Amino acid sequence: MTNYTDTTTPARTDVRPTSTRSGSATRRPYAVQGTVLSVGALAWAAAMAFGGTDPGETGADVVAFAFGSGLFQVGLLCLLTVLFRTQALGTGRLARFFVRFESVLVVLAIGSTIADGTGVSDLDQTPWLLLDLFWPLSMLGMFFIGIRIAIAGRWRGASRFWPMVAESWAVVVIPTLGIFGQDVAQVVAPLHLLVGYVVLGQLVARKEG
């Protein structure tokens, strides 16, 4: 009688099954970036709601405004990272260049925010004034990016058009401040952040890879 050798591979008991959490992280690879954007927008909205859109040059309001706006700017960098990875503006070199260029603007704007928060900025001096200009320039650049995302159509559903809503912050708030004054702008500015960037952050966080 022939003896047959059992060659069945024994079951591994030292391998754990893939967790649901790991699966969720794979399906939603931009959860961290989206969350940072939403938190940053909330922080800046709170700073403006309590301290106004122009907190002055010294005091706790300045520090709170710098912290909130700085965290928001970090959120913008996270958003730009997602835009670059997903080629949301398009697949060409110009689209990639524009995302990189906007990232440089935001980094310089962060430098301006740090300078303001630490009290070293002096807008009477040309170099500091030029650095301060990168703040509105970066926000204007985000507005054009929002338009381009909608035109490119590489993002689907609400995430295709919501960037244009969120990134219209500068073109809505700055005229509001000039026409209606600080009191109205103090309401419109944080409300626009809540409706725009906070929601956009959640759309990015839920975006599947």
Residue-range domain boundaries for the chain: 27-205
Instruction: Name the pLDDT band for 14 (thresholds 50, 70, 90).
Output: very low
DSSP code per residue over 119-181: T---TTSHHHHHHHHHHHHHHHHHHHHHHHHHHH--S-THHHHHHHHHTTHHHHHHHHHHHH-
The model carries a pTM of 0.85
Residue of 68 and 122 predicted with greater confidence: 68
Average pLDDT of the residues in 87-100 = 96
Of 1-15, 53-67, 98-112, 192-206, give the lowest mean pLDDT range.
1-15
Six-digit token string for 94? 């110009």
Average pLDDT, the chain: 88
Average pLDDT of the residues in 57-86 = 92
Does residue 35 surpass a pLDDT of 50? yes
Instruction: Name the pLDDT band for 27 (thresholds 50, 70, 90).
Output: confident
